[in-house]
Chain A
């Protein structure tokens, strides 16, 4: 059992066919990879890696490198054109903050909506509801419509919901820097606890310091291909080198 990796990604490729007259959501997610002349856009090209249980795994790369597409494949919402993705364990995704939330409704109501969207039953949410509220630490604002929240408050609530889903595998997309200093420290501690329980965290971030400090291993993606993978300090170092090199050229 313990030898099975938490996440196995094998030779995954994703191609998109962007149309000019479509809503820009797709194009935004592809970022700079977009070329209108090009019929097909390759978002991921033969990506392989595995993440062990209890490991914190970082994914870095420029905008449009395919990071979010990769997370969507792991989350199972996007079917790769080829390749295999296997996730062992219960998955909680925090690809974007507050997924399933309805801004017109109260924080209270949104805790239920968010957790139901993630796959919990109402009975289960009843049991963890007080913990979620306490962790989010929003005081009486929990009964106000979420649209009145500041972005920090919103993040706290969303993060609290995700952490209480008791996941084995947590996917985070650029959502580490949430809330104030105190909340950030608290969220770091919670994630460490998850790792200690041999949970797994995959996170995408542009904050190289937090990737370096928090992750055991890092994957560097560029134009949908793996540039480097391995020890976090090493890979982040390589990435920094390349990044400063390209700004000098530009």
Chain B
């Protein structure tokens, strides 16, 4: 019989699908189907098996045991990530330089289109580092989710040959993205320093923020992996969903500023502004921006005591150089400590829900 290859739901084509199990016995011995020397025990087979300590081959390990197996496979996960990361660019002539070039080209395009042509830089004091940080941080989540949605189908051969906790795969791929993020961060630091940002101890706050984001991506990646394994349609849809998410998460513009500036959509709908700001992508982006960019940290709403007059000046003339930093005199929608709590909450919720959601379908991956 032919093994079904890449399609998950397929079967042997040569078998008839007659409902009655009538079998054409032409050419077979008369007593076929009645093996005499089968050597079966007298008791029911299921009891016999359990008495001898055998387990159902398709049984799912309990959650704690599954976690233990995953921990035991940590070398596999990191080895897989490193190996795939290196091999990803072997066919390109510039090799791993693309790790740096891809985000840089993205930034260049966004800067031209959104910063210069569409002028979404309204009310942002230092737009280029603001944009670069947003693009790099969002890219981490975007790539993790898109790759995770494809990983179960792409790794079918591996799943079919070897037994290992399947969650190793999405986690391994999120780890690749983390490694790529570290490279991007090197580029980010250079851009930020060149654009005149001072080196500061606040930068260290980016580390916990990115760890929280990595946890969030791992949890989300597990959810995406299970969805993507169930329907191919998910991996087709993901790029559109992720692009929409980027446009509403303040990668290219400042949600905080738009919520203050008079006449803007977000200023007229404060609930919408709040909803956009608590979304996980926006939370992590804002946390990293506040850590690395002094212009963001010092001018975020709430950074200075509330002053209605100055806040009003910012809201009316966001592009005026004298007032562009007056956003700090306004009321924040979400305060800085609030952002940290949200970040912790999103990370924990994603990793816990993601783990159980993925684990509960563990035995169904790679079947069919």
B is bound to A = no
Residues of A within 8 A of B (CB): none
